[in-house]
A and B are shown apart, each in its own frame.
Chain A
């Protein structure tokens, strides 16, 4: 019953609620330190040499060029936006991109410099992960451990540094889970969780596979008396955000396919029918190669984390985390298209599962030593327990540390973008009239050319678009002959790009003007030769 007092009436205590109040504890300095210190450690390692390692990739450049396009008011992409991904991810990057301007230098390729936008994303994810660990009932040290595992694994360092939409989606999923697990069980938090998950999906659509884990968490954490409303609020929030995407397409008359325009449904069917490969369990499949590259960076977090996630399925509070990791593993194992960055979405759950397992191990050690210690004098019981914990911890660290040290050492010292840096500098010197120059490049270099004064889209040309975008082809009536240079990079040379006929002709009718690096990392700046006797590649 509501017992309400007006300002002028005397106060009486409220009637005892039928449900005990479970309010969150206020943070203590120890709690603050437990999240701030590991987060700072993660940020230090990830920020150090962020533009040098790993090698820039075309996806990063693509999202950055799209964010740039939003910022300049050119629309959602420098070329026709064709619903390849929902745009909310690079809209967020665009909102953050004032930040890297503070750090950008002409010595380094723009794509590398602009990676600083990812540091606040990583920082927020670390804090959210810690909060989630605490709300799932883990002790402070396990929360700190989860943050360290999440951010210091060599796999994490190389992927979280990159401007990839998955990192944004992970941040929003963690926010949704933190809201679901709130001890206040407030309807607005559950509705906000739905909104946050919607933002995650519109940042990177594949993360929608985590929906069952989120629903399970909300089911567990809501009160039976208000659960229906909590679920309706979360569903309402999610649908509200998701509906904005088809609404946008509808208003642009681009929802359903039609002649002369792109459409959301076509984009979606492209993503669902991307040429795939046999399962990663099959030897020699393309997906197996992706798995091997992940395992090369960090076997422990991936395999140990997955085993821990299966264990966590048995523990009720941690079950949604176990479910999330297992769901992602199942999706990764199915035959079909597997993006190389897919593993990013699993990292927080693998880290949490390991932290949860460590917490269980400590509990079991305490029980075990308590049983064994009954025969010892009381003064020796605690040292026995501490020694057991220390030995177990030391064993775990010594198993993992060498691999991680080597991996992270590469990450903070190697210079994988040297070739791109030099290519960008060379082009800056060679292009005497940037306003009329036409250079086909991959998206790692695209932002540099635009900065140097080439016309975005038609002067600085993303090589795919020469063959795939009719609007670009119209502006190049002579095909490859209208180009001045084409920069051959590992991305351009990918076997799947052999279908791009104009690009192939441009490569065939060009000579090497400058080259940097060697082997797989070779970058060649090739001048187009229009005379019939052109030298082939």
Chain B
């Protein structure tokens, strides 16, 4: 009897959460009107804002030059690029200095001298050097579209925004079995879910292709140097201050990136994000959000990785318990409930994979759909492991920054793998 009641309660809870998560994940595609609103509008009128684009680079001498040259192809006239390098990273520094010499009017180098380095420290180091109205962030491996700044400027002008978050998309979906799921995660997040957050007034910002008004950024004190998810944290703090955030996704203008090059790298990246989410949750900046439903959405979003890990563990256990304890058939059926939205999710993912292929002119074949379906439980396992690892590290006070390395798989021809030091 007690087993039955427990199974009913827990299954119903996970079912409800799975349905809610699915509902939010599908935000952009809910109605044709929603989908139309997720795009950038065509810019018109004279440009107004000047941009300072920050590119933190650490042991990224192989990809940095290509990235910066691409940014410099921008059709926008009023911008500068600040390359932030470490004092202990001569290789990247050399590449950065060479770029600054080639483009003295556009590119400057800022050296970060912190003993222990991480991305928020690098960004904060560069912030006093920014001359533009708007501070933008790109990662060293980002492929930026030449028209992006014009669209962002237009969004700032017409929407009177404090923050513009552009789309970021992992592209190399056929590199490995998990890269397909990883690409789709980004597709759902930037194409759909972030728009819901912008609309509801609570947004965990992305780490790059994000543009913030300089005065607003300085007023909130820049980035949190101790937080492992400084981008999410900044979004939460800006949301709490009532800053207006605009999200826009356009396949043509999206910043293209690559997936982590190994499963272990993915695990470490996710551990870092999850640990960052835990830290943001504990900082309670979200508690200052004015509306109850915003606070609820904040709690929910920050807790999602951990709840999903729990659900992943519970579903097989619950089904096994239901079969072992010979509970009534009705109860046993209820333990299968959380699996049903999961099946619907996979159906939506298959359609999204098709859309993804169409939007990026990628050839998506039957093999990929099969990979999508068969990969689901294993990918969930990796995510669950990262959630557990994050809790473990946080509990033991390990706050070191585990950097994601980049090999340029999203660039034409790819690149060789490099050794990178794990800091912290």
Residues of A within 8 A of B (CB): 1-10, 12, 14-19, 21, 184-188, 191, 223, 225-226, 228-229, 231-233, 235-237, 239-240, 243-244, 247-248, 251-252
At the interface, yes or no: B48 with Cβ under 8 Å from chain A?
no
Query: Is the Cβ of A185 less than 8 Å from the Cβ of B31?
Result: yes
In the bound complex, residues from chain B placing their C-beta under 8 Å from that of A7 are 201, 242, 290-291
In the bound complex, residues from chain B placing their C-beta under 8 Å from that of A233 are 344, 347-348
CA distance A232 to B332 in the complex (A): 27
The 8 A CB mask of B159-192 against A (1 = contact, 0 = none) is 1110000000000000000000000000000000
Taking A4-B246, A6-B239, A232-B347 as given, write out 18 further A-B residue pairs in contact, using a Cβ cutoff of 8 Å, ordered by the A residue number: A1-B37, A1-B41, A2-B38, A3-B159, A3-B161, A4-B198, A8-B242, A15-B37, A16-B41, A17-B37, A187-B31, A188-B23, A188-B30, A223-B32, A226-B32, A235-B347, A236-B348, A237-B344
* Chain B min CB distance to A150 (Å): 31
In the bound complex, residues from chain A placing their C-beta under 8 Å from that of B329 are 248, 251-252
Query: Is the Cβ of A226 less than 8 Å from the Cβ of B244?
Result: no
Most buried by B among A3, A5, A243, A248: A3
* Chain A min CB distance to B237 (Å): 13
Closest to B247 in A: A2
Segment 339-386 of B: residues with Cβ below 8 Å from A: 340, 343-344, 347-348, 350-352, 354-355
Query: Is the Cβ of A4 less than 8 Å from the Cβ of B201?
Result: yes
* Chain A min CB distance to B135 (Å): 20
Query: Is the Cβ of A8 less than 8 Å from the Cβ of B290?
Result: yes
In the bound complex, residues from chain A placing their C-beta under 8 Å from that of B159 are 1, 3, 12
At the interface, yes or no: B272 with Cβ under 8 Å from chain A?
no
In the bound complex, residues from chain B placing their C-beta under 8 Å from that of A225 are 32, 35-36
At the interface, yes or no: B109 with Cβ under 8 Å from chain A?
no
At the interface, yes or no: B106 with Cβ under 8 Å from chain A?
no
In the bound complex, residues from chain A placing their C-beta under 8 Å from that of B344 are 191, 232-233, 236-237, 240
* Chain A min CB distance to B253 (Å): 11
> Interface size of B by Cβ–Cβ distance < 8 Å?
49
* Chain A min CB distance to B58 (Å): 33
At the interface, yes or no: B33 with Cβ under 8 Å from chain A?
yes
At the interface, yes or no: B248 with Cβ under 8 Å from chain A?
yes
At the interface, yes or no: B218 with Cβ under 8 Å from chain A?
no
Query: Is the Cβ of B37 less than 8 Å from the Cβ of A9?
Result: no
Query: Is the Cβ of B291 less than 8 Å from the Cβ of A229?
Result: no
At the interface, yes or no: B39 with Cβ under 8 Å from chain A?
yes
Q: Are A2 and B195 also in contact (CB < 8 A) when A226-B32, A228-B351, A248-B329 are?
A: yes
* Chain B min CB distance to A300 (Å): 41
* Chain A min CB distance to B7 (Å): 13
Query: Is the Cβ of B32 less than 8 Å from the Cβ of A187?
Result: no
Residues of B within 8 A of A (CB): 23, 26, 29-33, 35-41, 155, 158-161, 195, 198-201, 239, 242-248, 290-291, 323, 329, 332-333, 336, 340, 343-344, 347-348, 350-352, 354-355
In the bound complex, residues from chain A placing their C-beta under 8 Å from that of B161 are 3
Closest to B161 in A: A3
Q: Are A6 and B243 also in contact (CB < 8 A) when A187-B26, A228-B354, A251-B332 are?
A: yes
CA distance A18 to B343 in the complex (A): 31
**9 shortest A-B CB distances, which residue pairs?**
A236-B344, A8-B242, A223-B32, A18-B36, A228-B351, A4-B198, A17-B36, A6-B201, A232-B347
In the bound complex, residues from chain B placing their C-beta under 8 Å from that of A21 are 33
Query: Is the Cβ of A1 less than 8 Å from the Cβ of B155?
Result: yes
CA distance A248 to B334 in the complex (A): 10
A-B contact pairs, 21 of them (CB 8 A): A2-B195, A2-B198, A2-B199, A3-B159, A3-B246, A6-B201, A6-B244, A6-B290, A10-B160, A12-B158, A14-B37, A17-B36, A191-B344, A223-B32, A225-B36, A228-B354, A229-B352, A232-B344, A232-B347, A243-B343, A251-B332
Query: Is the Cβ of B31 less than 8 Å from the Cβ of A15?
Result: no
CA distance A229 to B23 in the complex (A): 12
Closest to B349 in A: A232
In the bound complex, residues from chain A placing their C-beta under 8 Å from that of B33 are 17, 19, 21
Most buried by A among B38, B200, B242: B242
Q: Are A6 and B333 also in contact (CB < 8 A) when A15-B37, A233-B344 are?
A: no
In the bound complex, residues from chain A placing their C-beta under 8 Å from that of B354 are 228
Query: Is the Cβ of B31 less than 8 Å from the Cβ of A184?
Result: yes
CA distance A184 to B347 in the complex (A): 22
Q: Are A186 and B246 also in contact (CB < 8 A) when A1-B41, A12-B159 are?
A: no
In the bound complex, residues from chain A placing their C-beta under 8 Å from that of B199 are 2, 4
CA distance A232 to B38 in the complex (A): 21
